[in-house]
Homo-oligomer: A and B are copies of this chain.
């Protein structure tokens, strides 16, 4: 089963998607939203692609490697933006993104 081979990746994607969406929501509630604009944008990008890749893996898609390669790139970009900000939701999101990027690279 595709989802057995990729269990670690599925878990990392799920956690990254949750962390990015939580960060998206929390950034929109910060006082200085302007400073978080790039973070908000990348959180959505990253959550959307992580969710998409979860679907692709679990339906045994032929394109998992291609999607994982792109997902690694987006996770890194999102992690690099998040780690600039001191908010706990940003730091947690950066951590989830970097972990997910590493596992994506192995599947790419």
Q: Which residues of B contact A101 (CB under 8 A)?
A: none
Q: Are B22 and A58 in contact (CB under 8 A)?
A: yes
Report if A86 contacts B (CB, 8 A).
no
- Select which of B1, B40, B47, B56 is within 8 A of A28 by beta carbon: B40
Contact with B along A49-78 (1 / 0, CB 8 A): 101101110111111001100100110010
Contact B45 A63 (CB under 8 A): yes
Residues of B within 8 A of A44 (CB): 44, 59
Contact mask for chain A residues 27-59; partner B; CB cutoff 8 A; 1 contact, 0 none: 011011110110011001101110110111011
Asked whether B55 lies within 8 Å of A52 as measured between CB atoms, the reply is: no
From B21, B60, B70, B77, contact of A70 by CB (8 A): B70
